[in-house]
């Protein structure tokens, strides 16, 4: 059974940093691209970032480019999202999601999400 | 950026009735279109990929159709567990984009 378990969320002040982690199990983690999708309170889904299977390439939404960094450690079956210069508008539940191929595809499995609250 | 527009925003349907949800892309995404279901407090769940392929374990009452810029998700006979928010997503181009969602509520 595929499982994705996020951790690292919490309350942070504007301008602060936070690192999210996502531990994958039940599949060969190193064979799939992964991504992060967020959802602000009461709002829709918003793609944040994605990374290919070997970590060699990543893409970002414009609103996080230069502030967030996605990475992965395939030896630990773990995906990361380093979030710097956080803004109030970054407040959201952040979902880790598995893509269906090495560098492409939709999201076939999702974690339960990690809440990030940016507030003074 | 490809803008995904879903309509209607809210759909009121009685149990047992048919529901038809629409998703329009601002430019061609061929058939690189997925549909997700989300219930309150839960993560999204994949329903359909490739515009028309049901994901594993998804009941046959869910069907997807369309290509290029016009897509439809049909729920043939709504069950109580189908009342939720539905999102379309294109994965043809960067950035990946989602529609704003359609909430299917009990009439």
pLDDT tens digit sequence for B26-61? 999 999 999 999 999 999 999 999 999 999 999 999
Pairing of strands A10-12, A114-118: parallel
Q: Three-state DSSP class for A29? A: helix
Measured in angstroms, the CA of A47 and the nearest CA of chain B are apart by: 6
Mean residue pLDDT across chain B: 97
Measured in angstroms, the CA of A48 and the nearest CA of chain B are apart by: 9
- Inspect the interface and report whether the beta carbons of B43 and A111 lie closer than 8 Å: yes
Structure tokens, A110:
């999702």
Chain B contacts in chain A segment 59-98 (CB below 8 A): 59, 61-62, 95
Chain A residues inside the 8 Å CB shell of B4? none
Query: How far is the C-alpha of B39 from the C-alpha of A110, rounded, in Å?
Result: 13
- Inspect the interface and report whether the beta carbons of A112 and B43 lie closer than 8 Å: yes
Please write the tens of the pLDDT for every residue from A78-116: 999 999 999 999 999 999 999 988 778 899 999 999 999
pLDDT surpassing 90 at residue B19: yes
Peptide bond into B95 cis (omega under 30): yes
Please write the tens of the pLDDT for every residue from B73-107: 999 999 999 999 999 999 999 999 999 999 999 98
Please write the tens of the pLDDT for every residue from A23-61: 999 999 999 999 999 999 999 999 999 999 999 999 999
- Best residue of A34, A45, A92, A95 to probe chain B, by most B CBs closer than 10 Å: A45
Residue A103, chain B, CB below 8 Å: the answer is: no
Q: Which of B11, B78, B84, B77 is nearest to B44 (CA)?
A: B84
Query: How far is the C-alpha of B67 from the C-alpha of A43, rounded, in Å?
Result: 27
Average pLDDT over residues A6-24: 98
Instruction: Supply angle C-alpha B54, B21, B85, rounded to 5.
Output: 80
pLDDT score at B87: 98
């Amino acid at each position: 059974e595929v499982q994705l378990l996020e951790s690292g969320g919490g309350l942070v002040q504007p301008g602060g940093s936070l690192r999210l982690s996502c531990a994958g199990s039940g599949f060969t983690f190193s064979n799939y691209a992964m991504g992060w999708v967020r959802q602000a309170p009461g709002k829709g889904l918003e793609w944040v970032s994605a990374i290919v299977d070997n970590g060699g390439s990543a893409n970002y939404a414009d609103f996080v480019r230069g502030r967030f960094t996605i990475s992965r450690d395939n030896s630990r079956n773990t995906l990361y999202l380093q979030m710097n210069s956080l803004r109030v508008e970054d407040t959201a539940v952040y979902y880790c999601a598995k893509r269906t191929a090495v560098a492409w595809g939709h999201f076939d499995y999702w974690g339960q999400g990690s809440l990030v609250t940016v507030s003074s | 950026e490809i803008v995904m527009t879903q309509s209607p925003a809210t759909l009121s349907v009685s149990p047992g009735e048919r529901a038809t949800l629409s998703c329009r892309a601002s430019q061609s995404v061929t058939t690189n279109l997925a549909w997700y279901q989300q219930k309150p407090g839960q993560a999204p769940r994949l329903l359909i990929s490739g515009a028309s392929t049901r994901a594993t374990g998804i009941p046959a009452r869910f069907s997807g159709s369309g290509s290029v810029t016009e897509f439809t998700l049909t729920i043939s006979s709504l069950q109580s567990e189908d009342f939720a928010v539905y999102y379309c997503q294109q994965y043809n181009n960067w950035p990946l984009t989602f529609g704003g969602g359609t909430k299917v509520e009990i009439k």
